[in-house]
Amino acid sequence: MVEPETGLTRRQPKRQRVGWTIAAALVFGLGLVVVFGQVWRADLHRVAPWPELAPGEPSDPIERLMPLEGPFVASRRQLARGDQVFAVWAVAQNARGFLENPGRPFHADPCHPAENAQALGHPILSHGLLALPAYLATRDPVATYNFLLVAVVLLGALAMFALVAEWTAVPAAGIVAGLLYAFQASQLGLVAYPFLYDTTWTVLALWLVRRFFEGGRWRDAIGAAICCALQIALSFYAFLAAAVLAVPLLVWLFARYGTRHLAPGPTLVALAIVAGTASLVFAPYLAMRAAAPETRDVIQLFAPWSGLLPGHYLGGLGALLALAALVLPRRRVLGGIEGDPRWALVAGAVLVALLVTGGNMWQRRLAEQAGEPLTLALPNLFDALGVLVPGLDIVRGPVMLASGVHLAVSLLAGLGAAGLIRIAASHTPARFAEAPAVALVIAAAIAVLLPDRLGLGPPVTLTTVPLRPSAETLAFFEELERRGDAGPLLELPIDLHSTAYLMNGAGMQSLLSAYHHRRTSGCYNAKHPPEMARIEALARRLPDDDALAEIRAMGFRTIVVHQPPGGPLVARLEAATGDHALRRIQSSPSMTAFAVLP
């Protein structure tokens, strides 16, 4: 059917759709080369990407959202490095878990003797599953993580392309939306912690849920449920942003399509999949919280409203195209579906923004520091939601929910791109009908991948940082295994209140467990189990016999001291080996291992 206003068919011929799909794959592939090219030329078993911008520019999404200054920025960047080490470990841990221990998804080697230690931080199960092919091929944590980063960007771009191409019947608009969604600076800055911002599963769920409401097919119901389950099993931040964004969209779906196509069978099975996954994922967290309840003494990071303006977290082109989607007539922007979800998307983005900002918590805290009254106090939706959702009151980073705003704006931008392409095509000779679409795709690619060419600011450059432990360190643990030393490792020194220890001690000890696969006291996570404070206290008393006995009762059979020979702790334990239940069993230029005897 030809639309008289535009001269374009509502549904393009199959050959044309296939052509645009191939074009999308090529454009996204070129984007991956531009973004990851420098990384791919390095040793992918040794280094991983790290985002860098021009001097003085914010280097990741959090800094783009929040006007941070001084020592806090340096400290947060250091912690981001630690978070990246954690992400490398978690992806490899979960990929291996699916192979070797699928019945215990939250079992983890670090934080011994705590059980279900993965519930001390983000689950990241979905990324472990996505990275499984790379882990099978390499068995290497850093290489697996590098594969995952590429897979997250590519899958996100293709998911948004599929959604927008179907909703608009303009595949080129899907390419534009895919570029804006997956390749924006605010997204490429996530390489240190991709699990916090990845909402790709929500994009796919939205694509399939609308199809299910329209046609009631089993495959759409099950596919949407699996996508929802994968979003739940990734990160609490991304899931909460997706859940809030989904509320007005579900209202729109029910209002537009009703329930006439929602057959009981697929509907109940889909709901069971989602509910079962939520129970499986959240139960360990609730159990951990009940065993070690926390008081609300955490500092929650909210963003100012200005952080969500174009040029900060959101890209300028995406904001302009999203505005076009709202002012153009429905028939111009939504040629592939019935109904109009635009204002539901706006409502969802506003709800998420209210969580990200805590009303105007940033301005409120500035006024309190200055001792001045606040002109206008907006309600803190995040606090209100915390009354209903257990554990929300101790979440540190509401600012990280901004991924939901980015998703909504990228989708609206795709609708706006479709409207502009249709208008331009209606004023273009038939033989050049595709020219406006091609021109907008090229403009979007340059604006996102090479923004400096258009004066839009510096691009994100992914440099590399070494993450693989040294050959000497890996050889140390391999030699322990060869000698038959087994059981959990108590790794010293321990200082739970030191940022340096958390990053370079506990973080690297957790990562090492992805190589030697032994349980360890190393525990880099969002919080520590109560056992860690007890272990720290016992470590200070070593080589006291009672402390050694209690350490052995916890299951530890080996103490590994991360100090060179002659280091103070090594010397203290070495001097006690003749009189206490300790025996030195191995040493290297940087570490010494002691057996804890019965």
Instruction: Give pLDDT, residue 193.
Output: 82
**C-alpha distance from residue 574 to each of 95, 566, 582, 586 (Å):** 39, 9, 8, 12
Q: Is residue 4 included in any domain, yes or no?
A: no
Cα–Cα distance, 427 to 434 (Å, whole number): 12
Here the tokens at position 170 are 């303009």
What is the DSSP code string of 11-60? S--HHHHHHHHHHHHHHHHHHHHHHHHHHHTS-TTTEEEEEE-STTS--S
Instruction: Give pLDDT, residue 415.
Output: 97
Q: Is residue 466 included in any domain, yes or no?
A: no
Residues 475 and 395 in one domain: no
Q: Is residue 495 included in any domain, yes or no?
A: yes
Residues 337 and 207 in one domain: yes
Residues 360 and 223 in one domain: yes
Residues 477 and 390 in one domain: no
Residues 451 and 486 in one domain: no
Residues 591 and 481 in one domain: yes
Contact 105, 179 (CB under 8 A): no
Instruction: Give pLDDT, residue 7.
Output: 34
Q: Which of 396, 431, 456 is the last residue of a domain?
A: 456
Give the list of residues 6+ apart from residue 563 with CB closer than 8 angstroms, or none.
493, 569, 570, 590, 591, 592
Instruction: Give pLDDT, residue 6.
Output: 37
Instruction: Give pLDDT, residue 325.
Output: 96
Number of domains observed in the structure of the chain: 2
Residues 423 and 484 in one domain: no
Q: Which of 422, 456, 490 is the last residue of a domain?
A: 456
Instruction: Give pLDDT, residue 258.
Output: 93
Residues 442 and 374 in one domain: yes
Of 187, 161, 496, 160, the C-alpha closest to 314 is 187
Give the list of residues 6+ apart from residue 321 with CB closer than 8 angstroms, or none.
176, 180, 412, 413, 414, 416, 417, 420
Tens place of pLDDT per residue across the chain (598 aa): 334 333 333 456 677 778 889 999 999 999 999 999 989 999 999 999 988 755 555 555 566 666 655 444 555 666 777 888 999 999 999 999 999 989 999 999 999 999 888 888 889 999 999 999 999 999 999 999 999 999 999 999 999 999 999 999 999 999 999 999 999 877 887 788 889 889 999 999 999 999 999 999 999 999 999 999 999 999 999 999 999 999 999 999 999 999 999 999 999 999 999 999 999 999 988 887 777 655 455 677 888 888 888 877 778 889 999 999 999 999 999 989 999 999 999 999 999 999 988 888 777 777 777 777 777 778 888 888 877 777 776 677 888 899 999 999 999 999 999 999 999 998 888 888 889 999 999 999 999 988 877 766 667 788 888 999 999 999 999 999 999 888 899 999 998 888 778 777 888 999 999 999 999 999 988 778 888 999 999 999 999 989 999 999 999 999 999 998 888 999 999 888 877 789 999 999 999 999 998 8
pTM of the predicted model, to two decimals? 0.91
Q: Which of 395, 426, 456 is the last residue of a domain?
A: 456
What's the half-sphere exposure (Cβ side, CA atoms, 13 Å) at 295? 1
Residues 304 and 450 in one domain: yes
Domain carrying residue 572: 471-596
Residues 431 and 481 in one domain: no
Q: Is residue 9 included in any domain, yes or no?
A: no
Q: Is residue 354 included in any domain, yes or no?
A: yes
3-state secondary structure of 585: strand
Do you find a cis peptide bond into 310, omega within 30 degrees of 0? no
Cα–Cα distance, 503 to 496 (Å, whole number): 11
